[in-house]
């Protein structure tokens, strides 16, 4: 292989890696601009009078309130805000997940369709104690 051919291969590889990096960055920025909320069976929306609005704060290494009680079939809006840094909120049993940013409220709307006790947790590493940043959603009949 000539030096010129080798340089061409290196340049082409670098160009492809650069394009991949740009695509990843654009995808990340779109995700961030969308509020970093992924809600499969929920929608981010304004509340109406029939919804049960629950305000939740997140800070190292706790949610407040840590236990939330709602009724099955009653529309719920979780209104989350961080008091210190970016945290995550993941309630996998209801396919709810969002980033919770400082001083920015995010609202997740859903209707609990099953009764029971369901854990939610922070899924953005926030330091020693992160694994203890959990809470519980109690859905009553």
Distance between CA atoms of 117 and 50, rounded to whole angstroms?
A: 23
Residues 106-130 have pLDDT tens digits of 999 999 999 999 999 999 877 777 7
- Judged against a pLDDT cut of 80, whether residue 57 lies above it is answered with yes
Mark whether 64 and 119 lie in a shared domain.
Answer: yes
Terminal C-alpha separation, the chain: 73
Domain that holds residue 63: 38-140
Residues 3 and 52 reside in one and the same domain: no
**Within this chain, do residues 19 and 1 fall inside the same structural domain, yes or no?**
yes
Q: At residue 38, does pLDDT exceed 60?
A: no
Q: Same domain, yes or no, for 99 and 126?
A: yes
pTM, full prediction: 0.65
pLDDT of residue 9: 54
Query: Are residue 29 and residue 53 in the same domain, yes or no?
Result: no
**Would the pLDDT of 93 be above 70?**
yes
Specify the pLDDT at position 5: 57
DSSP one-letter string for the chain: --HHHHHHHHHHHHHHHHHHHHHHHHHHHHHHHTTTEEESS-B-----TTSEEEEEEEETTEEESSEEEEETTS-EEEEEEESSS-EEEEEGGGTEEEEE-BT--EEEEE---S-EEEEEE--S--STTGGG-EEEEEEE-
The reply to whether 7 and 24 lie within a common domain is: yes
Which of 39-68 are b and which e, b meaning 16 or more Cβ less than 10 Å from the residue's Cβ?
A: beebeeeeeeeebeebebbbbbbbbeeeeb
Please tell me the total count of domains within the chain.
Answer: 2
Residue 127 maps to which CATH number? 2.60.40.420
Domain identity same for 22 and 85: no
* Mean pLDDT computed over 65-80: 96
Mean of pLDDT values over 73-96: 96
| pLDDT at residue 39 greater than cutoff 50 | no
Q: Has residue 12 got a pLDDT over 50?
A: no
Both 136 and 75 in one domain: the answer is yes
Confidence category of residue 32, pLDDT binned at 50, 70, 90: very low
- Tell me: do 82 and 112 sit in the same domain: yes
């Amino acid at each position: 292989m000539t030096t010129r051919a080798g340089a061409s291969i290196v340049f082409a590889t670098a160009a492809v890696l650069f394009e991949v990096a740009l695509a990843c960055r654009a995808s990340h920025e779109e995700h961030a601009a969308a509020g970093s909320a992924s809600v499969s069976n929920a929608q981010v929306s304004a509340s109406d009078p029939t919804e049960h609005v629950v305000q939740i704060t997140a800070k190292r290494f706790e949610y407040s309130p840590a236990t939330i009680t709602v009724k099955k079939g009653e529309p719920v809006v979780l209104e989350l805000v961080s008091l210190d840094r970016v945290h995550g909120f993941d309630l996998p049993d209801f396919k709810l997940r969002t980033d919770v940013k400082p001083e920015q409220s995010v609202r997740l709307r859903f209707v609990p369709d099953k009764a029971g006790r369901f854990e939610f947790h922070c899924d953005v590493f926030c330091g020693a104690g992160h694994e203890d940043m959990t809470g519980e959603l109690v859905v009553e009949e």
